[in-house]
Amino acid sequence: MIKITEKAIDVQKVIETASNLGAGAVNAFIGTVRNKAKDKNVVWLEYEAYEAMAVAEIRKIIDEAAHKWNLLGWAVSHRIGTLKPGEVAVVVAVSTAHRKESFEACQYIIDNVKAKTPIWKKEVFDDGEEWVDARPTAGQAAIK
Amino acid sequence: MRYTLKTFGITRDILGGKEVPFEMDGVKVAELKSELMIRFPEMKTLNSLLIAVNNAYAEDDLILTESDEIALIPPVSGG
């Protein structure tokens, strides 16, 4: 299951979707909204996705993971829209025969979802707003 | 050629619309990128800019057609 949704993520449902009777391990990563960024108070975050492509990219990442590890079940759900601190933004769950591969596969999937999937977030502070990672921080180079 | 560009994140703020008509003589992804930097110099302040064509990341030498779904992909920040 790959889901991009404006509704609150049902974490238990994502875990159940990834579960499998042959699995000895179910590993879930739950990404939540922090209340601080760069020492400023985050009031809320705005998430948006290029939905069709996001689903296609996540599918590629799952396929890659399935080549590296024997995934018995998996599910990825990513929230979009307005999220407040403490809310769940993303859930990745995988099930495998043993725990080691469940940790590795889950980390591989969330790391790649964060790096490659066309989803963006804007932090809204008390005194302004900013698209996360869009521009270099001091000392980094922008596009040449 | 007359293309339509879908914009996301900060590129929507820079181009000022969700789907923006874009005319240029060039036909390659690389030409689209450099034309965007010229017409919207603020693009140069981004960490990166990728182009997606028909829901997949496109290489610089890919040839565009007017019916392609072309999207501007600024640095992603999901999760």
Q: Check if the beta carbon of residue A69 is closer than 8 Å to that of residue A61.
A: no
CA distance B1 to chain A (A): 24
Across the interface, whether the CB atoms of B10 and A89 are under 8 A apart is answered no
- List b or e across B33-62, with b for residues whose CB sees 16 or more CB atoms inside 10 angstroms: beebeeeeeebeebbebbbbbebebbeeeb
* CB spacing of A143 vs B43 below 8 angstroms: yes
Residues linked to residue B63 through DSSP beta bridges, in sequence order: B28
| Contact flag B76-A118 (C-beta cutoff 8 Å) | yes
* Cβ count near A102 (within 10 Å): 24
The number of beta carbons lying within 10 Å of the beta carbon of residue B24 is 16
Q: What is the pLDDT of residue A139?
A: 67
For every residue of B2-23, DSSP letters joined together read: EEEEE--THHHHHHTSSEEEEE
For residues B8-14, give the mean pLDDT.
97
Contacts of A122 in chain B (CB under 8 A): 9
Q: Report pLDDT digits (tens) over B53-70.
A: 999 999 999 999 999 999
| 3-state DSSP assignment of residue A78 | strand
The pTM for the full model equals: 0.94
Supply the angle between the helices A51-68 and A99-116 in degrees, to the nearest 10.
150
User: By CA distance, what is A76's nearest residue in B?
Assistant: B79
Cα of A47 to nearest chain B Cα, Å: 8
Q: If you write DSSP's letter for every residue of A2-43 in order, what string do you get?
A: EEEESSPP-HHHHHHHH--TT-SEEEEEEEE--SEETTEEEE
Q: Which of B8, B44, B46 sits opposite A118 (nearest CB)?
A: B8
Contact (CB<8Å) B74/A114: no
* Selection from A126, A133, A135 nearest residue A36 by Cα: A126
The mean pLDDT of chain A is: 96
Q: How far apart are CA A51 and CA A78, in angstroms?
A: 10
Q: Give yes or no for a contact between A103 and B59, defined as CB atoms under 8 angstroms apart.
A: no
pLDDT in tens, chain A (144 residues): 999 999 999 999 999 999 999 999 999 999 999 999 988 999 999 999 999 999 999 999 999 999 999 999 999 999 999 999 999 999 999 999 999 999 999 999 999 999 999 999 999 999 999 999 999 986 677 876
Separation CA A87–CA B74 (nearest Å): 25
CA atoms lying within 13 Å on the CB side of residue B53? 18
Of B44, B46, B55, the CB nearest to A52: B55
Residue A82: how many CB atoms within 10 A of its CB? Answer: 12
User: Are A136 and B47 in contact (CB < 8 Å)?
Assistant: yes
